[in-house]
Structures are given as structure tokens and as C-alpha cells.
Amino acid sequence: MPGKGRCPVATEPLLVVSDLRVSYGRAQVLDGVRLAVGKGEFVTVVGANGAGKTTLLRAIMGLVPARGRVQVHGQDILPWPPHRRAELRIGYVPEGRRVFADLTVFENLQAGAYRLPGGRTALQARLDFVYGLFPRLAERRHQLAASLSGGEQQMLAVGRALMIDPVLLIIDEISMGLAPVVVDQLFRVFGDMHRQGVTILLVDQNAQKALAAADRGYVMETGRITMEGPAGELRNNPAVVEAYLQSL
């Protein structure tokens, strides 16, 4: 049945998560999660509120204590301190627009590039790239992040993750509370990044949009992966439609 079986990664795996377990106190929030993202793939994880999606991304980023394995290019990065992910050019857009409120747009972007090799020339090239994607950030480059609208702050969070020139971009709940036009703009940027060869792992409450943009998807329920398959198949799977797509 489509979406029920395992769906092998079509390309060389870039990210492989196996038997990932996270507990908060006595509550086991991730219970042996496994997933793989191939080089150049766009993968999404769909699941109800509280399923553990954010915890999964935070564990991959080294931001919560976890057991199991998280391999990138075959290296187990789970024991690494969080900042070393930047060396592997993993960009992360956390849930909830985590920008540095009391820094300007420019300073936020500069902070995103602090591990970017290549000095001022490379920094300027990335700034030009991000300002090209989001002209509104360019117009507001000397404005404090706190004074930006919600949509602009989300653009800044994405722009900051792009400063590292990521090979893998991990995105958590980008569309939360944003106007549809801004959500569309951000998804267009992700589509462009994907076409340029960036590998993407995205979680979003808007499962319809996430599955429309992705190549492949996983369904997560209470800390486990319960289904996976090509995104188009998951979109048409009656169980997925009923649980995650019906209200849209």
C-alpha cells in the first residue's frame, strides 16, 4: 500500500537518523526515530502537535540530549557540540522566529555567518545573496530585528540560516502565524534552494504545503515514524488526508 512501506532514499544519504531517543524527565518524547535524507532531497515530517517534530530537529542540531545516531556524510554528529554543525554547513531555522531582537538585520545576518570561511568577500557575497532573495531585509538592514513584522522576522531567520551557505537546511514551522502571501514567498525560496542543490528537511503545520513542496515525507506519531513515502503518495493516502489534511 502506498506510504506504508519503507521508501529508500533515491540518492546518496546525507543525513541518517537511527534509533533516536529523547526523554524529558520520565516522558519519552522520541522513541526510536529513524529517517534518512538523501543528498539534494527535500524531505518533510508531518505530525500532530506534540508528536515530537521539534524535538527531532533539536536533537539533530545537538540542542537536546539524545541517544541513538545522527549521521551526516557517515559521521556520527550526535556527540558534537551544537556549533560544530556549522562546519558541516547545516543551517537551522528554529521554531518561533528566534532572531536576535536587539541586533539589526545586518548584525543578525553577520552572526549567522560567523563560521563562514572566506573572510569579508565571502560574507559580502552571502549578504548580497540573502538581500537578493529578500529585498525587504535589504531595505531594513539597519533596523533592529525587534521592530520587524512577524513575516520579516521569519525572513530574517531564514536569511540567517542561509548565511552559512548550507548544504542541509533544517526548517521548523515557518508558516506559523504568517499571512499566506509570506508563506508562499518563503516556500518559493525553499523551492529555489532545492533546485540549486540544497538538501532540505522541513517540518510545518501546513502539511498540504509541505507535502506539495517535498519529494518525500514521513509521518510522525507520538515519538515514532509510522509512515513514509513519496510526498505525492502521502498526500493521497486516506489516513494522512484524514489526520493532517482535512481541515485545509
| Separation between Cα atoms, residue 49 and residue 148, nearest integer Å | 27
* Torsion 179-44-191-7 (CA) sign: negative
Which one of ligand ATP, Mg ion, none interacts with residue 114, CB within 5 to 8 A by kind? none
Considering only residues 14, 33, 46, 54, which one is a binding residue for ligand ATP as defined by CB under 6 A?
Answer: 54
In the list 51, 133, 207, 213, the residue contacting ligand ATP (rule: CB under 6 A) is: 51
Q: Name every residue whose Cβ is closer than 8 Å to that of residue 157 and which is 6 or more positions away in sequence.
A: 93, 94, 97, 98, 99
Q: Which is nearer to ligand ATP, 38 or 217 (CB)?
A: 217
Decide: is 154 part of the binding site for Mg ion (CB under 5 A): no
Taking the CA atoms of the chain, what radius of gyration do you get in angstroms? Answer: 18
Given 1, 6, 26, 49, the residue binding ligand ATP (CB under 6 A): 49
**Is 204 within 8 Å of 177 (Cβ atoms)?**
no
Cβ 190 vs Cβ 200: under 8 Å: yes
Residue 30 or 127 with smaller CB distance to ligand ATP: 30
Please list, in sequence order, all residues whose beta carbon lies within 8 angstroms of the beta carbon of residue 87, skipping any fewer than 6 positions away: 115
For Mg ion, which residue of 54, 154, 175, 199 counts as binding (CB under 5 A)?
54
- In the complex, minimum distance from the CB of residue 181 to ligand ATP, in angstroms, rounded to a whole number: 23
Residue 62 binds to ligand ATP (criterion: CB under 6 A): no
Residue from 2, 4, 49, 44 nearest 199 by CA = 44
Q: Given the complex with Mg ion, which of 53 and 140 has the nearer CB atom?
A: 53
Q: How buried is 100 (Cβ within 10 angstroms: 0-12 exposed, 13-18 middle, 19+ buried)?
A: middle
Cell 551557505 maps to which residue? 165
Does position 194 bind ligand ATP by CB under 6 A? no
CB nearer Mg ion, residue 40 or residue 94: 94
Task: Lay out the site mask for Mg ion across 1-40 (x = CB under 5 A, - = otherwise).
Answer: ----------------------------------------
Size of the site for Mg ion (CB under 5 A): 2
Where do contacts with ligand ATP occur on this chain (CB under 6 A)?
Answer: 24, 29, 47, 49-55, 173
